[in-house]
Amino acid sequence: MADSSFKRVVIFASGSGSNAQRLMEYFDNHASIRIVALFSNNPEAFALERARKFNIPAQVFTREAFRNGTVLEQVKTFNPDLVVLAGFLWLVPAHFIAAYPNKIINIHPALLPKFGGKGMHGHFVHEAVLQQKEKESGITIHYVNEYYDQGAAIYQHVCPVELEDTPELLAKRVLALEHEHLPRVVEMLLQEQK
């Protein structure tokens, strides 16, 4: 099968990259989908090391390069069919979104529109869920627009909030959902593309 027949995914990650790793594992030797690059705004991100282990090109970029279009031009060289933000913390510039309409998705560790917005990531989300005494939490996979966590939802999965939950326990349960559902939703979106 020629490489051009594969659907191509570029991942953006800022931290550990466990979702990036899960995507790399899931699509390693996939019949029709390839992870072709990982970009990070954090030179210390463990996600970079995870990508290297899969022989996936990994690039670090600055805020200036993200804003001035340099990163967009680099991403274009990989000709992605989908861009996946997997634990990526910066707001995506409007010119980048315009270049890939409805082809940039994000995974958020809560049931949006609750507990979204600037600064709402990782343990901050789980702490807020517990402080508000929510009965359930979960994940939202959504399209990316110019605002934090406001793009249209593609998929949500709910999990209970237990009485004994700490932010760490809730985070573990939610992360398991992310690892289970993100690859499947990426696969579904790419298989629906013409």
3-state SS record for the chain: CCHHHCEEEEEECCCCCHHHHHHHHHHCCCCCEEEEEEEECCCCCHHHHHHHHCCCCEEECCHHHHHCCHHHHHHHCCCCCEEEECCCCCCCCHHHHHHCCCCEEEEECCCCCCCCCCCCCCHHHHHHHHHCCCCEEEEEEEECCCCCCCCCEEEEEEEECCCCCCHHHHHHHHHHHHHHHHHHHHHHHHHHCC
Dig out the tokens for 71 from the structure.
């990163």
179 labelled catalytic:
no
Q: Which of these is catalytic: 95, 108, 126, 179?
A: 108
- The rounded distance, in Å, linking the Cα atoms of 172 and 58 is 27
Which of the residues are catalytic? 108
